[in-house]
Amino acid sequence: MKILVTGAAGFIGSHLCEKLLMDPNNEVTGVDTFIGPTSETLKKQNLAALAVHPRFTFKQADLLTVDLDRMLQEQDIVYHLAGMPGVRSSWGKEFGPYVTNNIVATQLLLEAAKNKPIEKFIYASTSSVYGDILGKVAENATPSPLSPYGITKLTGEHLCNVYRISYNIPVVTLRFFTVYGPRQRPDMAFHRFIAQVLKGEPLTIYGDGTQSRDFTYISDCVDGIASVIYRGNLDGQTINIGGKERASINDVIRLIEHLTRKKAKLNYLPKISGEPKHTWADISNARALLGYNPMITLQEGLSKEIEYIKTIYTL
């Protein structure tokens, strides 16, 4: 299969490309424009193994300006992971790039796909579309985003749905729950916490640390994403991709202390607007439709991320 992955130099995108290339029948074209909180240097490191792969082609291009009609020629599958990430930075005057990169770019890609024989168009969404829901959340819950970021991702979902209805684009939507592991963005909590502990710097915690998340290790996440192309009867489905374990932020910090054998200096700051108190994925659909079964424990996943972070900082 010929597969296009947007956001290929990012955290999830680079791991996904590597996973897809494990199938000798796949040829992958990756696209990225090196925006967002991850530096261009780190993103190029993410691509290092892919760059020498004979069935991988990389294109540095902006979805807002590139000839998408030409780019989608002969592609069987589209994975749309590109976008502007982050809840905290989506407020105020920073909202503009979220609109263009998460909404406009998605619409342009759908326009280019509508007259192509695409077999599947997989849209990467987020648990941020749900808002603050108590207990396990299933895909039929009414979305109620708490942040501008969440609103732009939900808008992307709606765009995908109307193009599916009007132009028969075979859309599958995946909602990710707090993905972590090697190559995680520097602005994300685990990356920040680990780097701060290793450097002996205070940890910045927004809120009291009792907030909890459904943490999804990267290899589990990409197993779920990659499996979509091998499964039938997914047209129009929305599927949660959650992890093996939930934990509070305070629990995570204690585990990082244990794994690094360093005591954390804690600096609690006021809660930031837009963040739910808890997230918890009901992954029944993913199990039934994708055969999804997350395997990596939080301790194992954090240990792998700690080893990665040691390689990218001077400690």
Identified catalytic residue from 149, 163, 180, 292: 149
- The span from the CA of 263 to the CA of 274, in Å, is 29
Can you say whether residue 200 is alpha, beta or left, with left for phi > 0 and alpha for psi between -120 and 50 degrees? left
Q: Is 163 a catalytic residue?
A: no
Closest C-alpha among 288, 281, 300, 275 to residue 243: 281
- The span from the CA of 291 to the CA of 18, in Å, is 20
- The span from the CA of 50 to the CA of 73, in Å, is 22
Q: Is 88 helix (H, G, I), strand (E, B) or coil?
A: helix
Q: Where are the alpha helices (DSSP H) in 144-297?
A: 148-167, 189-199, 218-227, 249-260, 284-290
| 256 in Cβ contact with 300 (< 8 Å) | no
Going from the C-alpha of 147 to that of each of 87, 102, 154, 157, the distances in angstroms are: 6, 14, 11, 16
Residue type, 5: V
- The span from the CA of 196 to the CA of 260, in Å, is 11
| 176 in Cβ contact with 216 (< 8 Å) | yes
- The span from the CA of 21 to the CA of 98, in Å, is 30
Residue type, 45: Q
Q: Is 307 helix (H, G, I), strand (E, B) or coil?
A: helix
Active-site positions read 149
